[in-house]
C-alpha cells in the first residue's frame, strides 16, 4: 500500500523523515507565537481595573484548557483512523499526543490556582471549567496508564483506541453535566469563567496563545512520534540502517 | 448446520506469520489439510505452537498470511468459521464452582449441541467420568479434568479440531481413549491439528509440522 | 445461536455462577453499607448535615461498590479459559456479553438499589427523597455496569489491578453521579427530578445499546 498522495506517508518508515523536517518548523512557529502572545498579554494589555495584574494568567489558563480538550478529540480522531484503516501510524500519533494533552490540562489547572489565589483568596474553586479540566486530566492519565500496563504494543494501541473513543463520546456529556452541576449550586460568586470585561488588545492575545499552543502540540507530538516509531520498528531494516 | 462434517472440508493456510510484540514467532507457514487428515504440530518450547493454533482459531491476528476453509477465506464470516472448529487451548475453559455434568451442559449448549441429562450421562460414561458427574470441577484431578474436555469433543460435531497439548495429565488409559476419539473423528472425515511434543496413540498417520523451521507441508 | 438465545445463555449461566458464590456477591453489598457508615464517623452526625449530603454519599458508595464487584465479570472467565470459548462460540459475542452483564447487574446492581433505602434511613432522608434516590440508582446502575464492563474488558490480564479499573471508570461515571445525586437535590429544591431521571434513562438506553458491542470488541482485543 505504498500508494499515492496522502497514504504514502502512512507507513512509519516514510513518515519518520517527514516528521523530522516538520518538527523545527512548528517548533519555531510555536516559539514565535508564544513570544508574541505573551508580549500582548503581559506587556501590551492594560492592567485590569478589578483584578489588577493577576488576570494576565488567563492568557495561559484559557488556551491551555482549550488545547487540552481539543487534543483529546484529535486523539479520538487518530484512534478512529487506526480502526478504520488499520494503520499503526495512526495509533502511534494517538500515543504521541496524550502526554502533551495531559500537560496542557495540568497547566490549565495550575494557572487556575495562580489566578484564584490573589483574586479570590483561594487556590481552587469548583467552577465548571476547572472541574471539567480536572476530569479531563484523569481521562488522560487513564489513557497513559492503560498504555503503560499493556505489554503488547498492538494490543495497547487497540485498547487505548477504544478507551479514547469511549472517552471522547463522554467528554461532551461530562462537560455538560459539570456545567449543570455548577449552575445548580450557583451561589458561589467566585467563578473563573466570569472573566473581566476586556479591551480588544487584551482579547487579541488569546487566539495568538491558542495558536501557539496548537503549534507546540504539533511539534511535540511529531517529535515524540519519532521516538515511538524508532522504538516500535526497532526490528525493521530501515531503523537499523538509520542507527548505523 | 454449518458445523457438521461435510465431504470436501479443506483447510488451506498460506504464508502465515505471527509475532509477539516485536519478535516474529514464525513465518511462511503453509499447508493444506483435507478430510481425514491431521497435523501433529511440534517444535521446541516457545516456538509458537499455541500461537499458531490461536491464530487459526481467530483469537490472535496473524501479521501475514491467509486462512481458507472450504475455499472461502475465514475472515469473511467469523461465525461460520467458529461453527466449524472446536478449540481446546492451554486453559481448560471450565468453571471451578460448577459440577462436571453442569459444566458439560453449559458448554454443549454453547456449542449448539443437545444437552439433555441422558446425553450428558452417556458422554460422561464414555470418558469414564460417570461417577464424577455431580462433583465440583475444582475437586476433579488433573486427568479427570482433561477427560471432561474429551467428552466435549465426543459430543461436538465440528469438523476441525484445534487441540493444544491434548494428552497432558492423562494416564495410559486416558491417552488410549484420546487416540480412539481422534481416530473416530478422522474416520468420519474430520480434520485435526494437535500441538504436542508427545507421541499420540493415534492410528492414522500424522502430517508433521515442525515450527522453528520454515515449512510448507 | 441467535442473539436472543445467546443473551439467555449468558444470563442463565452467570446467574447460576453467582448463586454458587453468594458470599462474593454479598460482600459487595456489605461494602456499600460500610462506606455509607464511614461518613458520619468521619464528619459529625448532625442530622441536618447528613440529610443534606446523603444523596451524594449514597451515590459515591454505589459507585465504589460497583467498582468492587467488577472483577467478577470477566476476570474469572479470562483466567480459566471460558472467555476464550465464548469468543469462539457460534453466537454473537455482544449478545453473550449482554447476558453476562445483565446477570451481573441482577446479582450486584439490583440489590444495591434495594439496599439504598437503608442508607437513606441511616442518613435521615425523607421518604420522598429516598424514592427519588432509588429511582436514580435503578436507572444509573445499568450505566455503571456497562461502563465497568468496558473498563474490565480493556484491563483483562494487565498489571494495573483494581486501581487502574477505577481510574478508567470513575471519570466516565461522573455524569451519572452528577445527575443521580442531583436529582434528589433538585426534587428537594422543588424543581422536580424529571430532567435528571430522563437523562439517566437516556444514558441507560444508550449504554445498553452500545455497551455490548464496545465490550465485545474490548474482549477480543484482550486476547491479542
Mean pLDDT across B43-60: 89
Mean pLDDT across A83-88: 88
**Residues of the domain holding C49:** 3-222
- Test C92 with B79 for CB contact under 8 angstroms: yes
Q: Does A200 touch chain B (CB under 8 A)?
A: no
- Please tell me which residue, A224 or B216, carries the higher pLDDT value: A224
Tell me the Ramachandran region of residue C83: left when phi exceeds 0, alpha when psi lies from -120 to 50, beta otherwise: alpha
List beta partners, residue B20: B23
Mean pLDDT across B35-58: 89
Mean pLDDT across B117-122: 93
Each residue's pLDDT tens digit, A16-73: 888 888 888 898 888 888 888 888 777 776 676 666 677 778 888 889 999 999 999 9
Mean pLDDT across B13-42: 87
- Looking at the domain assignment, is residue A3 inside a domain? no
Hey, which chains touch B, using 3+ CB pairs under 8 Å? A, C
Written as one string, the DSSP assignment of C64-105 is HHHHHHTHHHHHHHHHHTHHHHHHTSSS-HHHHHHHHHHHHI
Q: What is the number of structural domains in chain A?
A: 1
**Residues of the domain holding B206:** 11-210
Which of C167, C178, C222 is nearest residue A142 as measured by Cβ atoms?
C167
What is the C-alpha to C-alpha distance for residues C138 and C212, in angstroms, rounded to an integer? Answer: 19
**Which positions in chain B touch A151 (Cβ < 8 Å)?**
21
**Which positions in chain B touch A152 (Cβ < 8 Å)?**
20-21
What is the C-alpha to C-alpha distance for residues B9 and B81, in angstroms, rounded to an integer? Answer: 12
Q: Does B107 touch chain C (CB under 8 A)?
A: yes
- The 3 state secondary structure assigned to chain B is CCCCCCCCCCEEEEEEEEEECCEEEEEEEEEEECCCCEEEEECCCCCCHHHHHHHHHCCCCCCEEEEEECCEEHHHCHHHHHHHEEEECCCCCCCCCCEHHHHHHHHHHHHCCCCCHHHHHHHHHHCCCHHHCCCEHHHCCHHHHHHHHHHHHHHCCCCEEEEECCCCCCCHHHHHHHHHHHHHHHHCCCEEEEECCCCCCCCCCCEEEECCCCCEC
At C52 the pLDDT is 87
Q: Does A113 touch chain C (CB under 8 A)?
A: no
Q: How confident is the model at residue B27 (pLDDT cuts 50, 70, 90)?
A: confident
Q: Does A180 touch chain C (CB under 8 A)?
A: yes
**Which positions in chain B touch C20 (Cβ < 8 Å)?**
97-98
- Test A151 with B21 for CB contact under 8 angstroms: yes
At B216 the pLDDT is 46
Summary mean pLDDT of chain A: 83
**Residues of the domain holding A84:** 18-183+192-243
Question: Would you state the torsion angle of the CA atoms of residues C196, C200, C205, C207, taken in this order, to the nearest 10 degrees?
Answer: 150
What is the C-alpha to C-alpha distance for residues B211 and C223, in angstroms, rounded to an integer? Answer: 22
Q: How confident is the model at residue B213 (pLDDT cuts 50, 70, 90)?
A: low
Block means of pLDDT (10 residues each) for chain C, length 224 residues?
A: 93 94 88 91 85 91 92 92 94 96 95 92 89 95 96 90 93 94 87 90 96 96 90
pTM score > 0.80 for this model? yes
List beta partners, residue B73: B68
Which of C20, C21, C89 is nearest residue B110 as measured by Cβ atoms?
C89
Which of B3, B60, B92 is nearest residue C223 as measured by Cβ atoms?
B60
Best residue in C11, C14, C85 to probe B by mutation, most B CBs within 10 Å?
Answer: C85
What contacts B16, CB < 8 A, 6 or more positions away? B26, B28, B29, B30, B52, B55, B62, B64, B65, B66, B67
Q: What is the number of structural domains in chain C?
A: 1
- Looking at the domain assignment, is residue A12 inside a domain? no
- C174 contacts A135 by C-beta, under 8 angstroms: yes
Q: What is the ipTM of this complex?
A: 0.91
Hey, which chains touch A, using 3+ CB pairs under 8 Å? B, C
Nearest to A26 by CA among A163, A176, A220: A220
B to C CB pairs, distance under 8 Å = 66
- Test B23 with A232 for CB contact under 8 angstroms: no
- Looking at the domain assignment, is residue A6 inside a domain? no
- C155 contacts C164 by C-beta, under 8 angstroms: yes
Question: Would you state the torsion angle of the CA atoms of residues B28, B33, B38, B44, taken in this order, to the nearest 10 degrees?
Answer: 0
- Looking at the domain assignment, is residue B59 inside a domain? yes
- Looking at the domain assignment, is residue A8 inside a domain? no
Which of B87, B95, B112 is nearest residue C88 as measured by Cβ atoms?
B87
List beta partners, residue B33: B11
Q: What is the number of structural domains in chain B?
A: 1
User: To the nearest whole angstrom, how far is the Cα of C16 from the nearest Cα of chain B?
Assistant: 9
Each residue's pLDDT tens digit, B58-80: 999 888 899 999 888 888 888 88
- Test A232 with B22 for CB contact under 8 angstroms: yes
Mean pLDDT across B90-106: 93
Q: Does B24 touch chain A (CB under 8 A)?
A: yes
At B48 the pLDDT is 86
Each residue's pLDDT tens digit, A141-199: 999 999 999 988 889 999 999 999 999 999 999 888 888 888 776 544 444 554 555 55
User: To the nearest whole angstrom, how far is the Cα of A155 from the nearest Cα of chain C?
Assistant: 6
At B7 the pLDDT is 63
Best residue in B110, B137, B148 to probe C by mutation, most C CBs within 10 Å?
Answer: B110
- Please tell me which residue, C170 or A242, carries the higher pLDDT value: C170
Q: Does C158 touch chain A (CB under 8 A)?
A: yes
- Test B110 with C1 for CB contact under 8 angstroms: yes
Kindly report the CATH number assigned to the domain that includes residue B83: 3.40.50.300
Q: Does B102 touch chain C (CB under 8 A)?
A: yes
What is the C-alpha to C-alpha distance for residues C83 and C81, in angstroms, rounded to an integer? Answer: 5
Query: Would you say residue B22 has pLDDT above 70?
Result: yes
At B158 the pLDDT is 92
Amino acid at each position: 500500500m505504498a500508494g499515492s498522495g496522502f497514504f504514502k506517508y502512512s507507513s512509519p518508515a516514510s513518515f519518520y523523515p517527514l516528521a523530522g523536517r516538520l518538527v523545527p518548523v512548528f517548533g519555531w512557529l510555536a516559539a514565535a507565537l508564544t513570544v508574541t502572545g505573551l508580549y500582548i498579554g503581559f506587556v501590551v494589555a492594560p492592567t485590569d481595573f478589578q483584578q489588577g495584574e493577576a488576570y494576565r494568567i488567563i492568557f495561559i489558563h484559557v488556551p491551555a484548557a482549550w488545547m487540552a480538550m481539543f487534543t483529546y478529540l484529535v486523539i479520538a480522531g487518530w484512534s478512529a483512523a487506526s480502526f478504520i484503516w488499520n494503520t499503526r501510524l495512526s495509533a502511534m500519533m494517538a500515543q504521541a499526543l496524550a502526554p502533551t494533552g495531559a500537560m496542557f490540562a495540568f497547566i490549565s489547572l495550575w494557572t487556575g490556582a495562580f489566578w484564584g489565589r490573589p483574586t479570590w483568596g483561594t487556590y481552587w474553586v469548583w467552577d465548571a471549567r476547572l472541574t471539567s479540566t480536572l476530569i479531563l486530566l484523569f481521562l488522560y492519565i487513564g489513557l497513559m496508564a492503560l498504555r503503560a500496563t499493556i505489554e503488547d504494543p498492538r494490543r495497547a494501541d487497540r485498547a487505548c483506541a477504544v478507551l479514547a473513543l469511549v472517552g471522547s463520546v463522554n467528554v461532551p456529556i461530562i462537560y455538560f453535566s459539570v456545567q449543570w452541576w455548577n449552575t445548580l449550586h450557583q451561589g458561589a460568586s467566585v467563578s473563573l469563567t466570569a472573566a473581566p470585561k476586556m479591551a480588544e488588545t487584551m482579547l487579541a492575545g488569546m487566539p495568538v496563545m491558542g495558536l501557539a499552543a496548537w503549534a507546540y502540540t504539533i511539534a511535540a507530538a511529531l517529535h515524540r512520534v519519532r521516538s515511538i516509531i524508532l522504538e516500535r520498528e526497532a526490528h525493521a531494516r530501515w531503523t537499523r540502517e538509520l542507527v548505523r | 448446520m454449518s458445523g457438521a462434517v461435510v465431504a470436501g472440508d479443506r483447510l488451506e493456510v498460506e504464508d502465515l506469520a505471527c509475532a509477539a510484540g516485536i519478535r516474529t514467532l514464525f513465518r511462511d507457514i503453509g499447508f493444506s489439510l483435507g478430510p481425514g487428515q491431521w497435523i501433529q504440530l511440534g517444535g521446541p518450547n516457545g516456538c509458537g505452537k499455541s500461537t499458531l493454533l490461536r491464530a487459526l482459531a481467530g483469537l490472535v491476528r496473524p501479521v501475514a498470511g491467509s486462512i481458507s476453509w472450504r475455499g472461502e477465506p475465514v475472515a469473511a464470516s467469523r461465525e461460520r468459521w467458529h461453527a466449524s472448529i472446536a478449540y481446546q487451548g492451554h486453559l481448560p475453559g471450565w468453571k471451578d464452582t460448577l459440577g462436571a455434568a453442569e459444566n458439560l451442559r453449559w458448554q454443549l449448549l454453547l456449542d449448539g449441541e443437545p444437552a439433555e441429562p441422558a446425553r450428558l450421562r452417556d458422554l460422561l460414561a464414555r470418558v469414564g467420568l460417570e461417577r464424577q458427574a455431580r462433583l465440583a470441577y475444582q475437586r476433579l484431578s488433573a486427568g479427570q479434568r482433561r477427560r471432561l474436555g474429551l467428552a466435549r469433543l465426543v459430543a461436538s460435531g465440528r469438523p476441525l479440531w484445534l487441540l493444544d497439548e491434548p494428552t497432558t495429565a492423562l494416564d495410559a488409559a486416558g491417552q488410549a481413549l484420546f487416540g480412539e476419539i481422534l481416530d473416530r473423528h478422522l474416520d468420519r472425515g474430520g480434520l485435526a491439528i494437535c500441538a504436542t511434543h508427545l507421541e499420540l496413540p493415534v492410528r492414522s498417520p500424522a502430517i508433521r509440522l515442525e515450527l522453528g523451521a520454515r515449512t510448507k507441508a | 445461536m441467535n442473539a436472543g438465545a445467546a443473551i439467555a445463555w449468558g444470563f442463565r449461566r452467570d446467574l447460576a455462577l453467582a448463586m454458587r458464590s453468594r458470599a462474593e456477591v454479598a460482600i459487595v453489598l456489605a461494602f456499600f453499607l460500610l462506606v455509607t457508615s464511614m461518613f458520619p464517623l468521619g464528619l459529625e452526625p448532625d442530622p441536618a448535615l447528613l440529610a443534606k449530603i446523603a444523596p451524594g454519599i449514597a451515590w459515591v458508595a454505589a459507585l465504589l461498590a460497583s467498582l468492587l464487584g467488577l472483577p467478577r465479570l470477566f476476570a474469572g472467565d479470562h483466567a480459566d479459559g471460558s472467555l476464550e470459548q465464548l469468543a469462539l462460540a457460534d453466537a454473537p459475542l455482544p449478545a453473550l456479553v449482554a447476558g453476562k452483564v445483565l446477570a451481573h447487574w441482577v446479582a450486584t446492581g439490583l440489590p444495591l438499589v434495594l439496599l439504598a433505602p437503608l442508607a437513606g434511613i441511616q442518613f435521615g432522608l425523607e421518604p420522598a427523597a429516598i424514592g427519588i434516590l432509588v429511582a436514580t440508582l435503578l436507572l444509573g446502575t445499568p450505566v455503571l455496569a456497562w461502563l465497568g464492563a468496558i473498563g474490565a474488558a480493556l484491563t483483562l490480564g494487565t498489571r494495573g489491578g483494581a486501581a487502574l479499573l477505577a481510574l478508567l471508570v470513575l471519570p466516565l461515571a461522573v455524569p451519572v453521579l452528577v445527575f443521580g445525586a442531583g436529582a434528589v437535590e433538585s426534587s428537594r429544591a422543588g424543581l422536580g427530578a424529571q430532567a435528571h431521571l430522563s437523562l439517566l434513562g437516556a444514558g441507560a438506553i444508550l449504554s445498553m445499546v452500545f455497551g455490548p458491542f464496545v465490550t465485545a470488541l474490548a474482549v477480543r482485543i484482550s486476547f491479542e
